[in-house]
């Protein structure tokens, strides 16, 4: 049997663990309190979509938002991983979109229901090509941007994260054991907005990667 290829991690069926409200400017734009501990939720592997395939609008939303985020890909699993060795567990990175049905999320929040319909639908996690760890020596200080139809909507630095990557790996691994191929979405900076059918989303990490996705409706 041939060795598995980490660059095609999305085919392995591993967990997608998402961190919310990790940028103060985004928490404020949605009128949320700044968290004192990370806010976590999950997406299933069926949320992945890669370039060349569209982001599909769920039929039940009229407000699908983009959230550009740095994804941290786990290369070595563990439980209770200390912050001091957390980065040894990282294989690399991907640029991600945490597509969010914002109207549905607001309804779930007001009813005290989980965010699954808002966050975990098919194609809710568009990803870039795999970025080996060596290409981003300081993941805590890179610039993420996103354009909708050539208009810049989001542009923020990972230096604004409330909880650092080592903190998140330590925190998450005390609750959910991490496995090779798991992906951690680290939260989004301000500027989220809704997208429509046929919109073109471009996103990038300055000097490292770009990606393009079209929004479409399921035929
Ligand atoms: O609490 C809310 O209203 C919204 C939270 C999010 O969608 C959190 C994120 O996914 C994020 O900050 O990246
Ligand atoms: Mg998010």
Encoded tokens for 115: 């965010």
The number of the ligand nearest the C-alpha atom of 40 reads 1
pLDDT digits (tens, 9 = 90+) for 150-178: 999 999 999 999 999 999 999 999 999 99
pLDDT of residue 91: 98
Mean pLDDT across the stretch 76-98?
A: 98
Residue 18 Cα, ligand 2 centroid: separation in angstroms?
Answer: 7
Collapsing DSSP to helix, strand or coil, 81 comes out as coil
Q: Is 30 in the pocket of ligand 1 (CB under 6 A)?
A: yes
Q: Is 66 in the pocket of ligand 1 (CB under 6 A)?
A: no
pLDDT of residue 1: 52
At 219, the pLDDT band (50, 70, 90 cuts) reads confident
Question: 194-195 and 64-65 as β-strands: parallel, antiparallel, unpaired?
Answer: antiparallel
CA distance 194 to 58: 13
The number of the ligand nearest the C-alpha atom of 106 reads 1
Dihedral angle at the C-alpha atoms of 119, 175, 3, 165, nearest 10 degrees? 70
Report the mean per-residue pLDDT for the chain. 97
Burial readout 94-128 (b: 16 or more C-beta within 10 A, e: otherwise): bbbbbbbbbbbbeebeeeeeebebbbbbebbbbbb
pLDDT digits (tens, 9 = 90+) for 176-209: 999 999 999 999 999 999 999 999 999 999 999 9
CB atoms within 10 A of CB 10: 20
Going by alpha carbons, the residue nearest to atom 13 of ligand 1 is: 187
What value does the CA radius of gyration of the chain take, rounded to a whole number of Å? 16
DSSP 193: -
Going by alpha carbons, the residue nearest to atom 6 of ligand 1 is: 20
CA distance 27 to 19: 12
> Does residue 2 register a pLDDT over 90?
no
Going by alpha carbons, the residue nearest to atom 9 of ligand 1 is: 20
DSSP 127: E
Q: What is the pTM of this model?
A: 0.97
Q: Which residues contact 111 (CB under 8 A, 6 or more apart)?
A: none
Q: Work out which ligand 1 atom sits closest to the CA atom of 39.
A: 8
What burial class does residue 30 get, using C-beta atoms within 10 Å of its C-beta: 0-12 exposed, 13-18 middle, 19+ buried? middle
For the chain, domains (ranges, CATH) are 6-217 (3.90.850.10)
At 218, the pLDDT band (50, 70, 90 cuts) reads confident
pLDDT digits (tens, 9 = 90+) for 132-153: 999 999 999 999 999 999 999 9
Report the share of the chain in percent with pLDDT over 90.
97
DSSP 129: -
pLDDT of residue 66: 98
The number of the ligand nearest the C-alpha atom of 23 reads 1
Phi-psi region of 195 (alpha: psi -120 to 50; beta: other; left: phi over 0): beta
């Amino acid at each position: 049997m041939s060795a598995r290829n980490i660059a095609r991690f999305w085919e392995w069926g591993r967990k997608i663990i998402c961190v919310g409200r990790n940028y103060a400017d985004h928490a404020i734009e949605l009128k949320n309190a700044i968290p004192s501990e990370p806010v976590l939720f999950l997406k299933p592997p069926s949320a992945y979509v890669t370039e060349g395939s569209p982001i599909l609008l769920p039929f039940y939303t009229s407000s699908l938002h983009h959230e550009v985020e740095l994804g941290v890909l786990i290369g070595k699993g563990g439980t209770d991983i200390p912050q001091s060795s957390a980065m040894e567990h990282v294989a690399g990175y991907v640029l991600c979109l945490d597509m969010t049905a914002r109207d549905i999320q607001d309804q779930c929040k007001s009813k005290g229901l989980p965010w699954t319909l808002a966050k975990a639908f098919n194609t809710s996690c568009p990803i870039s090509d795999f970025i080996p760890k060596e290409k981003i020596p300081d993941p805590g200080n890179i610039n993420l941007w996103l354009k909708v139809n050539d208009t810049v909507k989001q542009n923020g630095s990972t230096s604004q994260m409330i909880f650092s990557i080592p903190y998140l790996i330590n925190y998450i691994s005390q609750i959910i054991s991490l496995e090779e191929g798991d992906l951690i979405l680290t939260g989004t900076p301000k500027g989220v907005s809704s997208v429509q059918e046929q919109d073109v989303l471009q996103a990038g990490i300055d000097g490292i990667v770009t990606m393009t996705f079209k929004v479409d409706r399921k035929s």
